[in-house]
């Protein structure tokens, strides 16, 4: 069997929704000062990823916040290849929005020994991976909708990608239209 591909998961608005104001439904957990809502099907999705891929986390959030969320979201002893937080992001000034952007440069993953042909990033804000866009599967931002089924659809697409020789050669912007 060949080596498994690496899947890098963003946290906020990809796996969870964090808000300082409670929604109509009860929060799944609390990470001060945020009410945290799990994206529907996230548990099934994480188990799928564990079985089929090597899994890592890369968030532009602080390390303490990320570790608190991971502790509450992931099963105990869930194997993570690495956890990158805001300190591993490249900061760049966006002249259009006049704000600081956090870029996740996959060269840092490559330095850990991973081939980018085998790296998939699940991200609700693809501009965060603008330097290696061919590795990104963009997902709709999760903002608490209990009927969201993005992760269910994504598992079907990931079944296809796990067998591809070079994930960068596959167009992923319209991935939902490619699900059989």
92 has pLDDT over 90:
no
pLDDT by residue (tens digit) across 140-149? 999 999 999 9
- What's the mean pLDDT when you consider all of the chain? 93
Is pLDDT above 80 for 131?
no
Instruction: Sketch the domain layout of the chain as residue ranges.
Output: 6-178
Give per-residue pLDDT as tens, 9-55: 999 999 999 999 999 999 999 998 999 999 999 999 999 999 999 99
pLDDT for 1 equals: 38
Q: Which residues pair with residue 58 across a beta bridge?
A: 84
pLDDT at 42: 98
E-assigned strand segments in the chain: 6-9, 16-19, 29-31, 34-38, 54-58, 83-84, 90-94, 99-103, 119-123, 136-138
Q: Evaluate if residue 97 carries a pLDDT over 80.
A: yes
Confidence check: pLDDT of 156 > 60: yes
- DSSP one-letter string for 9-35: E--BTTTEEEESS--SSPPSEEETTEE
User: Could you tell me the fold of the domain covering 6-178?
Assistant: Rossmann fold (3.40.50)
pLDDT greater than 80 at residue 162:
yes
pLDDT at 180 over 80: no
């Amino acid at each position: 069997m060949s080596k498994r591909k690496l899947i890098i998961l963003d946290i906020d608005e990809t796996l969870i929704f964090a808000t300082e104001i409670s929604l109509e439904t009860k929060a799944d957990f609390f990470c001060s000062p945020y009410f945290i809502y799990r994206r529907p099907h996230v548990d099934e999705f994480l188990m799928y990823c564990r079985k089929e891929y090597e899994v890592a986390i890369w968030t532009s959030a602080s390390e303490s916040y990320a570790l608190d969320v991971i502790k509450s979201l992931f099963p105990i002893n869930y194997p993570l290849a690495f956890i990158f937080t805001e300190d591993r992001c490249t900061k760049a000034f966006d002249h259009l929005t006049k704000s600081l952007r956090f870029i996740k440069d996959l060269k840092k993953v490559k330095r850990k020994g991973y081939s980018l042909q085998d790296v998939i990033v699940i991200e609700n804000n693809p501009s965060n991976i603008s330097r290696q866009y061919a590795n990104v599967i963009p997902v709709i931002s999760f903002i608490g909708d209990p009927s969201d089924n993005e992760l269910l659809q994504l598992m079907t697409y990931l079944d296809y990608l796990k067998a591809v020789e070079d994930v960068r050669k596959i167009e992923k912007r319209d991935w939902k239209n490619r699900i059989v």
